[in-house]
Amino acid sequence: MVFTPYKIRDLELKNRWIMLAMHTGFAESNTLTERDYAFYEERAKGGAAAVTCLLAVNEAGALKGMYDAETVDRESLKALAERVHAHDCKLIVQLFHCGRNESEKNHGEKPLLAPSAVASPIFKTEPKEMTTEDLADTKEAFRKAAALCKEIGADLVEVSASAGYLLSEFFSPLSNLREDAYGYQNENGITYPLEVLAAVREAVGEYPVLVKVSAAQMVEGGYELADTLRFCKKAEEAGNIDGVTVTGGWHESPIEQISYHVSKGAYAPFAGVLKKYLAVPVIACNRIQDEETAERILAEGLCDFCGTARAFLADPAFVNQMKAGKPYLPCLGCNKCIMDVLKGKELSCAFNPEAGNEHFEHQRRKIATRKECVVIGGGPAGMEAAKKSAERGFKTTLVCKEKDLGGQLRLAALPPKKEDFLKYIDYMKYSLEELGVNILTETEGTLELVKEKNPYFTVLATGSVPEKQPIEGLPEEQYFTAQEVLQMEEEKIAELLRGEVVILGGGAIGLETAAFLAERAEEPEIKIIEPKNKMGMDMGAMARPLLNDLKKKNVNFLTTTTAALMEGRKLFVKIGAMTMFVSADTVIWAGGSASHVDTELTMWLMDERMSYAIVGDANEVGDGGNAIHDAYALFTHMYLA
Ligand SMILES: Cc1cc2nc3c(=O)[nH]c(=O)nc-3n(C[C@H](O)[C@H](O)[C@H](O)COP(=O)(O)O)c2cc1C
């Protein structure tokens, strides 16, 4: 079903996959660039029935790096429509206004407008309450922006009324305290958004108009699904919408929206409720990124189209690949993209470093050569380096000492809900094989091997090794690294879990190791000790759901705490200036690691005047995404000599 055509109004879309709006932050002036074109074109070419780009209705409504309808160069927007159409793909333009949802720093001199002067819990800046004039101007801006989109050849417009941006702020009693006709007390605040939709319809006439809504606010005291349904129903009755895109809740919701903690298609039932009561097509989204989920929710009648933003970010060609039954790079729900964009950074993908660099990549040509490149290390940095090396034209050998590729990512896939990380490894293996990379597994990247290959260029992606803090009195057989624990036999893990476990380090590795262990016992006794004053400091917003899961399993957290010495079962710890003890049968090191590089090899490479580079953890310890981007960056300024 997912590959069958379907209509929105009179417009036929060739399949059910729509690339949803994703703010890129790429705009540097008011003219779209080759970088923008290449980003959307690649995804149009990759099989999307339609791709969505964003246009703020006016300057005040624009996020940092977003084009706006008032100042955008029309010809450049028109060229985008033509470029997308060339791939049998439709162009949707989302008409956007940020409302209060932008930082003061990134918004600059422009006013942050909102229904009422209530600061967003994320951005904390008090916005300006919209005056009657502001309301009229903004509505007019939506009208003009819609007319512009039709004029430049876009196929549909989508009015943004979701996630806590301007129009959705009217729906909520928390952000709409107005006492006039647009206040929450009048029709639950739907009047102004309905007027905006009417203005859009007036501007475009018989032309497809979508509205994007959050199913519910998902914030305590906020609006509910029934309110969203009422709004959509009224808009439909007025003849002002031809389809509804239904996402989850607002950005500030304490409920997970799009990370890997959300199961596939979990929010589709909300779309299903709207579909039941509306006649217009419904586009469901949030973690609908694979054929199985898409087919299931379509068959269950929960939606007419499947929308995804990040599946297209991770792999622009994922629809075509899926249709051909070939592997694709899946979105792993790591949320790096959204965390960055909410901070005003440019859009990027942790696992696909080419996202946003498509135009740059188009300017690079593969020149087949007999020059050899040897990459040592089969982890994320090594796999990416080998892929890029082969793509740039080197005859590439990837040397991996383990039986399988993946390195530390293979371990990162073991904690709960992270099994999709294995799909990334499978995809990379497939890509490397397609590119003809010579993969040598269970092979050490020794000096002898490099001497024998005598490559033109060597990449050292040899990762890092945990650097256990020495703890006086702690016997070796009671002290493991997180990496060792993740690879232990189940029997041995069960034995550890019969006693008390203390994990040293409350960053991502410590918390995820705790989750891995906690899943294996009814009442695990686990404590996590962290020197900093917060747990999960390296995880950003992704720490919250994990900490919540761990709290449910009664895992204890001790911050600003360091381990000092062990006496019997007593692990003495320092909490600030105070010393106390915690009971421990097993201690697990999840603190720092150190870069690992074979210095004998690098000294020899230097003596022989042979070029080499060090990438990933071996260069600087970070996460998998950092390692991949580091390896990619090397091949953005390394070409055949
Ligand atoms: C980096 C990023 C930026 C986004 N920007 C917007 C936006 O500007 N407007 C919008 O309506 N949705 C935006 N979204 C939400 C997506 O359109 C989509 O609804 C959401 O990501 C769920 O789909 P997915 O799980 O397939 O990514 C953004 C999502 C991401 C990840």
Non-local CB neighbours of 209 within 8 Å, separated by 6+ positions? 146, 156, 157, 158, 159, 197, 200, 201, 240, 241, 242, 243
Across-strand partners of 210? 158, 243
Q: How far is CA 583 from the centre of its chain?
A: 39
545 C-alpha to ligand 1 centroid (Å): 19
Under the banding of pLDDT at 50, 70 and 90, the label for residue 637 is confident
Q: What's the farthest any 2 CA atoms get from each other in the chain?
A: 80
| CA–CA gap between residue 344 and residue 626 (Å, rounded) | 19
Q: What angle do CA 122, 127, 133 make, to 5 degrees?
A: 145
Nearest to 301 by CA among 263, 271, 266, 323: 271
21 C-alpha to ligand 1 centroid (Å): 6
The terminus-to-terminus CA distance of the chain in angstroms comes to: 50
Q: Where in 363-409 does DSSP place strands (E)?
A: 372-376, 395-399
pLDDT value at residue 169? 98
- The atom of ligand 1 lying closest to the CA of 160 is 11
Q: For ligand 1, is residue 162 a contact (CB within 6 Å)?
A: yes
604 C-alpha to ligand 1 centroid (Å): 49
Task: Give tens-digit pLDDT for 433-451.
Answer: 999 999 999 999 999 999 9
Percent of the chain, pLDDT > 70? 99
Which of 246, 310, 315, 420 to mutate for ligand 1's pocket (most ligand atoms within 8 Å of CB)?
Answer: 310
Q: Whose CA is nearest to atom 28 of ligand 1?
A: 22
| CA–CA gap between residue 413 and residue 174 (Å, rounded) | 39
pLDDT value at residue 368? 72
- The atom of ligand 1 lying closest to the CA of 158 is 11
Percent of the chain, pLDDT > 90? 96
20 C-alpha to ligand 1 centroid (Å): 6
Q: What are the DSSP calls for 558-587, one per residue? A: E-SEEEEEEETTEEEEEETTEEEEEE-SEE
Q: For ligand 1, is residue 309 a contact (CB within 6 Å)?
A: yes
> Which residue type occupies 288?
I
310 C-alpha to ligand 1 centroid (Å): 7
pLDDT, the chain, mean: 96
Non-local CB neighbours of 236 within 8 Å, separated by 6+ positions? 278, 279, 280
Q: For ligand 1, is residue 348 a contact (CB within 6 Å)?
A: no
pLDDT value at residue 451? 93
Q: For ligand 1, is residue 212 a contact (CB within 6 Å)?
A: yes
Supply 560's token pair.
């600003």
Q: For ligand 1, is residue 314 a contact (CB within 6 Å)?
A: no
**Tokens 């929710």 belong to residue:** 297
Task: Give tens-digit pLDDT for 529-567.
Answer: 999 999 999 999 999 999 999 999 999 999 999 999 999
Q: How far is CA 369 from the centre of its chain?
A: 36
pLDDT value at residue 33? 98
pLDDT value at residue 364? 79
Q: Whose CA is nearest to atom 31 of ligand 1?
A: 338
- The atom of ligand 1 lying closest to the CA of 311 is 26
pLDDT value at residue 494? 96
pLDDT at 191 exceeding the cut of 90: yes
260 C-alpha to ligand 1 centroid (Å): 15
Q: For ligand 1, is residue 18 a contact (CB within 6 Å)?
A: no
Q: For ligand 1, is residue 97 a contact (CB within 6 Å)?
A: no
- Give me the domains of the chain, ranges plus CATH numbers: 6-360 (3.20.20.70), 368-465+595-634 (3.40.50.720), 468-591 (3.50.50.60)
Q: Whose CA is nearest to atom 26 of ligand 1?
A: 308
> Which residue type occupies 327?
P
The helix or strand, by DSSP H or E, that contains position 448, with its residue range, turns out to be: helix 447-453
Q: For ligand 1, is residue 308 a contact (CB within 6 Å)?
A: yes
Nearest to 171 by CA among 160, 158, 159, 184: 184
286 C-alpha to ligand 1 centroid (Å): 8
Q: For ligand 1, is residue 52 a contact (CB within 6 Å)?
A: no
Supply 356's token pair.
């946003």
Across-strand partners of 438? 397
Residue 172 DSSP class: -
309 C-alpha to ligand 1 centroid (Å): 5
Across-strand partners of 561? 575
22 C-alpha to ligand 1 centroid (Å): 5
Q: Whose CA is nearest to atom 1 of ligand 1?
A: 338
Instruction: For residue 612, report the phi and psi dihedrals to the nearest 5 degrees.
Output: -150, 165
| CA–CA gap between residue 600 and residue 310 (Å, rounded) | 43
Q: What count of residues does the chain have? A: 641
Q: For ligand 1, is residue 627 a contact (CB within 6 Å)?
A: no
- The atom of ligand 1 lying closest to the CA of 288 is 26
Q: For ligand 1, is residue 338 a contact (CB within 6 Å)?
A: yes
208 C-alpha to ligand 1 centroid (Å): 21
Under the banding of pLDDT at 50, 70 and 90, the label for residue 639 is low
pLDDT at 353 exceeding the cut of 70: yes
Nearest to 332 by CA among 354, 353, 349, 356: 349
pLDDT at 640 exceeding the cut of 70: no
Q: For ligand 1, is residue 214 a contact (CB within 6 Å)?
A: no
pLDDT value at residue 113? 98
pLDDT value at residue 369? 76
Q: For ligand 1, is residue 289 a contact (CB within 6 Å)?
A: yes
Task: Give tens-digit pLDDT for 356-403.
Answer: 999 998 887 777 777 899 999 999 999 999 999 999 889 999 999 999
Task: Give tens-digit pLDDT for 43-72.
Answer: 999 999 999 999 999 999 999 999 999 999
Which of 54, 258, 345 to mutate for ligand 1's pocket (most ligand atoms within 8 Å of CB)?
Answer: 258
Q: Whose CA is nearest to atom 18 of ligand 1?
A: 309
Q: Where in 167-218 does DSSP place strands (E)?
A: 209-214
Task: Give tens-digit pLDDT for 234-259.
Answer: 999 999 999 999 999 999 999 999 99
Supply 314's token pair.
């991770």
Residue 68 DSSP class: B
Q: For ligand 1, is residue 258 a contact (CB within 6 Å)?
A: yes
Which of 16, 18, 20 to mutate for ligand 1's pocket (most ligand atoms within 8 Å of CB)?
Answer: 20
Under the banding of pLDDT at 50, 70 and 90, the label for residue 576 is confident
pLDDT at 641 exceeding the cut of 60: no
Across-strand partners of 464? 595
Cβ 95 vs Cβ 139: under 8 Å:
no
pLDDT at 591 exceeding the cut of 90: yes
Q: For ligand 1, is residue 54 a contact (CB within 6 Å)?
A: yes
Q: Strand pairing of 395-399 and 438-440?
A: parallel
Task: Give tens-digit pLDDT for 194-244.
Answer: 999 999 999 999 999 999 999 999 999 999 999 999 999 999 999 999 999
Nearest to 103 by CA among 127, 123, 76: 123
Q: Where in 227-281 does DSSP place strands (E)?
A: 243-247
Q: What angle do CA 500, 505, 507 make, to 5 degrees?
A: 125
Task: Give tens-digit pLDDT for 609-636.
Answer: 899 999 999 999 999 999 999 999 999 8
Q: For ligand 1, is residue 337 a contact (CB within 6 Å)?
A: yes
95 C-alpha to ligand 1 centroid (Å): 14
Task: Give tens-digit pLDDT for 465-520.
Answer: 999 999 999 999 999 999 999 999 999 999 999 999 999 999 999 999 999 999 99
Q: For ligand 1, is residue 514 a contact (CB within 6 Å)?
A: no
